[in-house]
A = this chain, B = another copy of it.
Amino acid sequence: MGIIRKTKLVEALLQHFEQHTNALSVVNLVEHFKGKANKSTVYRILDRLQDEGLVHSFRGQNGLTWYAKCSTDCSTNHHRDIHPHFQCQQCGKVECLSIKIDIPHVEARRIESAEMFLIGRCEECTS
């Protein structure tokens, strides 16, 4: 009854996520699987993996979509994980930061989720 089928491409994508701790942009993924998978297929597999709670997505610098492997505390129904994402403006890599961000309490508004995107320099690129 597994509603998501383990096709070759699904396996390939999952394996790719295992091998890359950093986040991956959809554009890169489409490029990487060019010839092996159709663009639409990549998009649809990512959707499914996100529905399954295996990966999560967020938007980066130019409104581009990024995906990263979910950590253990990222369950199926509890998306939009409450951790910030970081991009190094030098080398361009994007990663999940394993710290909790505190969601501000705002008067007269009920906050239900929050996204934080940090831009800076990673250790390697700090000269």
Tell me the bound Cα distance from A120 to B37 in angstroms. Answer: 37
B89 touching A106, Cβ below 8 Å? no
B-side contacts of A112, CB under 8 Å: 89, 119-121
In the complex, whether A110 has a CB less than 8 A from a CB of chain B is yes
Closest to A103 in B: B118
B123 touching A119, Cβ below 8 Å? no
A88, A106, A109 — most chain B CB neighbours (10 Å):
A109
In the complex, whether A1 has a CB less than 8 A from a CB of chain B is no
B-side contacts of A114, CB under 8 Å: 84, 116-119
A88, A112, A114 — most chain B CB neighbours (10 Å):
A114
In the complex, whether A19 has a CB less than 8 A from a CB of chain B is no
In the complex, whether A3 has a CB less than 8 A from a CB of chain B is no
Closest to A121 in B: B110
Tell me the bound Cα distance from A117 to B106 in angstroms. Answer: 13
In the complex, whether A11 has a CB less than 8 A from a CB of chain B is no
In the complex, whether A2 has a CB less than 8 A from a CB of chain B is no
Per a CB cutoff under 8 Å, which of B104, B113, B116, B122 touches A109?
B122
Interface residues of A (CB under 8 A from B): 59, 63-65, 84, 86, 88-89, 97, 99, 101, 103-104, 106, 108-123, 126
